[in-house]
Amino acid sequence: MGTRPLLNRRLAKMGTTIFAEMSALATATGSINLGQGFPDTDGPEEVREAAVRALREGRGNQYPPGPGIPELRTAIAEHQRHFYGLSYDPDTEVLVTAGATEAIAAALLALLEPGDEVIAFEPFYDSYAACIAMAGATRVPLTLRAPSFRPDPDELRSLITPRTRLLLINTPHNPTGTVLTADELATIAALAVEHDLLVVTDEVYEHLVFGATHHPIATLPGMRERTVTISSAGKTFSFTGWKVGWVTASPELVSAVRTAKQYLTYVSAGPFQYAVAEALRLPDTYFDTLRADLLRKRDLLLDGLTAAGFRAFTPEGTYFVTTDITPLGEKDGIDFCRTLPGRCGVVAIPNAVFYDDVDAGRSLVRFTFCKQDEVLQEAVTRLRRL
Ligand code: PMP
Ligand code: GLN
C-alpha cells in the first residue's frame, strides 16, 4: 500500500457525512434527533401496502428495466404534467434512480469534464460538493446570505466564466428553506441561455412549500432542453429509506445520465417502484394535507426556537429551520451541535459544514420539523433550558 493515502485525493476532505455523524450521536446519547431530515412517521398506509403487494406478487423482485419500470415512468410524467404542465415522454425523457442522491451523482458524472466549473448555491447539500469533486470539476459557490438567503443576480453573473458548464440549483433550498421566485428563476434561466449552460435542478422538496409557489425552472422559456430536473419519493411520501428518485429531461440529457446510472447501481429497487407509481397518483388532498401538517410543525418549532432564544429564519419550503445561535451567546455551530446532546438532549446540524466559506455559516444551526408534534414540543422544552 506504500505511503500513498488510501482515499483518493478528490474525496480526501469529504470524511463522514454530517448526517450520519449526528444521527449516530443522537442514538448514542438517546437525544431527540432534529438533525438528519427523516420523518418519524411513515408515509401513507396504502403506499406501504402497495410495496408489500408488489413484493408478494413477485413484481420487481428481479432486476427491473434499467430506466425504471414503465408504470413508474408514466406516473412521473403524469405528475410533471398535472402539477406543472410539463410534458415528458415516459420512454425517453424519464429515468428512475436510487434516490435523488444517485440522480445528482449520475447527472454530474455524466455531464461534467475535469476542469469544468459548476456554480451552486452555498450552503450546499453535502453530496453536491462530493459529486462535483468525483467528476473532477470545480465548485463555485454563490452564497445565500442571512437574513434573506436569496441569490444575488449580479453576483451570479460575475461568477460565470468560459469554464462554467453547469448551474446546480436547489429549490426549495436545503438548509435555508428559500424557494426561488419566478423572477429569480427567470434571471437564472436568462443567464443559462445567454451563456449556453446546463442546469441541474434538485427539487426534492417540491411539495413542501408554505405560502410560496414552487416553479420548476424547466417551465421557463429555453430551459426544457438544457435542464435536468431531479426529485424523489423520499420527502414527498415520507419514505426516505426506499431510495426511489427520478430525473426528467430531454432524451439527450436522460440518455447521458442513464449511461452513468447504469454503472453506479444498474437499476433501482423493484417493488418500491410499483408502490411509488401508486403514490404519485394519490389525490391532491394528500399533498395539501402533507403541506398543512408540516406548516403547523414549522410554526411550532419556529415559536419554540424563538422562545428558547435562537434567531430563527422562517423557511418558505423544506422541513428545516435555520437559526442563528449568536443571541444565545454562542459563536460556533459545530461546537454547539457536538455539545448540545449533552447539554439538553437534542441533536441539530451545524450549517457550517455546507459552506466553503466556513465563516459565512459559522453561527448557523439547522433543525428539522418532520417529527411528531409531541416530539417537537419536548425538543423545544429541552432547548429552553439552554
Ligand atoms: N437533495 C437534497 C437537497 C436533499 O435534502 C436530499 C435529502 N436526503 C437529497 C437530495 C437526497 O434525496 P434521496 O434521499 O432521495 O436520495
Ligand atoms: N436530506 C436529509 C437532510 O438534509 C438527509 C440527508 C442524508 O441523509 N444524506 O437532512
- Establish whether residue 202 lines the binding site of ligand 1, counting it when its CB lies within 6 angstroms of any ligand atom: yes
Q: Is the pLDDT of residue 17 over 90?
A: no
Q: Please count the structural domains in the chain.
A: 2
- CATH number of the domain where residue 109 is located: 3.40.640.10
Can you tell me the mean pLDDT for 133-143? 96
Does residue 157 lie within any of the structural domains?
yes
Distance 384 CA to ligand 1 centre (A): 30
Does residue 22 lie within any of the structural domains?
yes
Distance 15 CA to ligand 1 centre (A): 18
Task: Judge if 239 and 352 occupy the same domain.
Answer: no
Task: Judge if 66 and 13 occupy the same domain.
Answer: no
Ranges assigned E (strand) in the chain: 32-33, 94-98, 117-122, 138-143, 164-170, 198-202, 227-232, 244-248, 311-313, 320-324, 346-347, 349-350, 364-368
Can you tell me the mean pLDDT for 326-344? 96
Task: Judge if 211 and 131 occupy the same domain.
Answer: yes
Is residue 188 within 8 Å of residue 171, measured between CB atoms? Answer: no
For the CA of 243, the closest atom of ligand 1 is 15
Q: Domain range spanning residue 216?
A: 45-283
Task: Judge if 373 and 330 occupy the same domain.
Answer: yes
pLDDT of residue 14: 80
In this structure, the chain runs to a length of 386
How many Å from the N-terminal Cα to the C-terminal Cα in the chain? 49
Quote the CA–CA distance of 65 and 74 in Å, as a whole number: 14
- CATH number of the domain where residue 337 is located: 3.90.1150.10
- Establish whether residue 245 lines the binding site of ligand 1, counting it when its CB lies within 6 angstroms of any ligand atom: yes
Distance 37 CA to ligand 2 centre (A): 5
Can you tell me the mean pLDDT for 240-250? 98
For the CA of 125, the closest atom of ligand 2 is 4
Of the pLDDT bands very low, low, confident and very high (cuts 50, 70, 90), residue 12 is confident
Task: Judge if 245 and 295 occupy the same domain.
Answer: no
Residue 58: Cβ-neighbour burial (10 angstroms; 0-12, 13-18, 19+)? exposed
- Establish whether residue 83 lines the binding site of ligand 2, counting it when its CB lies within 6 angstroms of any ligand atom: no
- Establish whether residue 236 lines the binding site of ligand 2, counting it when its CB lies within 6 angstroms of any ligand atom: no
pLDDT of residue 327: 98
Task: Judge if 305 and 235 occupy the same domain.
Answer: no
Task: Judge if 68 and 143 occupy the same domain.
Answer: yes
Q: pLDDT averaged over the chain?
A: 96
- Establish whether residue 37 lines the binding site of ligand 2, counting it when its CB lies within 6 angstroms of any ligand atom: yes
| Minimal-distance CA residue to ligand 1 atom 3 | 174
Q: φ, ψ for residue 42 (rounded to 5)?
A: -70, 165
- From 19, 131, 204, the mutation candidate for ligand 2 (largest count of ligand atoms within 8 A of CB) is 19
Distance 329 CA to ligand 1 centre (A): 32
* Final residue belonging to a domain, choices 283, 302, 332: 283
Task: Judge if 128 and 244 occupy the same domain.
Answer: yes
* Final residue belonging to a domain, choices 283, 308, 339: 283
For the CA of 233, the closest atom of ligand 1 is 15
Quote the CA–CA distance of 90 and 141 in Å, as a whole number: 34
Does residue 1 lie within any of the structural domains?
no
Does residue 4 lie within any of the structural domains?
no
Task: Judge if 198 and 232 occupy the same domain.
Answer: yes
Is residue 321 within 8 Å of residue 315, measured between CB atoms? Answer: yes
Compute CA 386 distance to the chain's CA centroid, rounded to the nearest angstrom: 30
Task: Judge if 184 and 260 occupy the same domain.
Answer: yes
Can you tell me the mean pLDDT for 357-386? 95
Does residue 3 lie within any of the structural domains?
no
Of the pLDDT bands very low, low, confident and very high (cuts 50, 70, 90), residue 16 is confident
Of the pLDDT bands very low, low, confident and very high (cuts 50, 70, 90), residue 15 is confident
Task: Judge if 215 and 357 occupy the same domain.
Answer: no
Q: For the chain, what percent of residues have pLDDT higher than 90?
A: 94
Q: Is the pLDDT of residue 135 over 90?
A: yes
Residue 99 CA: which ligand is closest?
1
The grid coordinates of residue 21 equal 455523524
Distance 125 CA to ligand 1 centre (A): 8
Quote the CA–CA distance of 349 and 239 in Å, as a whole number: 21
Is residue 80 within 8 Å of residue 178, measured between CB atoms? Answer: no
Compute CA 41 distance to the chain's CA centroid, rounded to the nearest angstrom: 19
- Establish whether residue 203 lines the binding site of ligand 1, counting it when its CB lies within 6 angstroms of any ligand atom: no
pLDDT of residue 165: 98
For the CA of 174, the closest atom of ligand 1 is 3
For the CA of 101, the closest atom of ligand 2 is 9
Selection from 151, 180, 141 nearest residue 359 by Cα: 141
Q: Is the pLDDT of residue 10 over 90?
A: no
Query: SS3 of 224, please?
Result: helix
pLDDT of residue 11: 86
Task: Judge if 308 and 175 occupy the same domain.
Answer: no
Of the pLDDT bands very low, low, confident and very high (cuts 50, 70, 90), residue 110 is very high
Is residue 143 within 8 Å of residue 122, measured between CB atoms? Answer: yes
- Establish whether residue 232 lines the binding site of ligand 2, counting it when its CB lies within 6 angstroms of any ligand atom: no
E strand or H helix at 202: strand 198-202
Q: What is the DSSP letter of 116?
A: -
Q: φ, ψ for residue 53 (rounded to 5)?
A: -60, -45
pLDDT of residue 386: 87
* Final residue belonging to a domain, choices 238, 261, 283: 283
Distance 100 CA to ligand 1 centre (A): 5
